[in-house]
Amino acid sequence: MTKGSPDSEMGLEAQLELLDLPLDSPALSRLLDEVREGNTEMSRSYNRTYNRHNR
């Protein structure tokens, strides 16, 4: 899948398998650390002030 055009679910499954290659994701590590630290107070940029409108 490179564009949003309809791809088969089989193609997606094949990609999922590829994703199981070793991958230590910095984004996931960051999220794990935040959840572990109980980081429910979000940073200023996460203050829920711009997420509900399509414009």
Partner 1 sequence: MRIDTVLLKVASRCNLDCSYCYVYHMGDTSWRAMPKFMAPQIQTLVANQLFGLFIAQAHPFAVVLHGGEPLMLGAQRLRVLFETLRKTLPSVCPIGIQTNGVLLKPPILDLCATFRVSLSVSLDGPANVHDKNRVNHLGQASHAAVIAGLANLKSHPSAAALFSGVLAVVDPTSDPTEIYSYLKSLGAPSIDFLYRDGNRTTLPYGKQSVESTEYGRWMSKILDHYMADPNPPRIRVVDDMIKLILGGACVKEGIGLTDFGIVVVDTDGSFTKNDTLKSTPLGDRFDGSWTIYSHKLAEVVRSPEFHAYYEAQRPSSPACNACPELAVCGGGMVTHRFERGRGYDNPTVFCSDQKLLIERMRRYVANHLSRRAAA
Binding residues for partner 1 restricted to 1-55, rule: CB under 8 A: 1-7, 9, 12, 15-16, 19-20, 22-32, 34-35, 39-40, 42-55
Specify the amino acid at residue 15.
Q
- Report in angstroms how near the CB of residue 27 gets to partner 1 at its nearest: 4
In the DSSP assignment, the letter for residue 54 is -
Which residues of the chain form contacts with partner 1 (CB under 8 A)?
A: 1-7, 9, 12, 15-16, 19-20, 22-32, 34-35, 39-40, 42-55
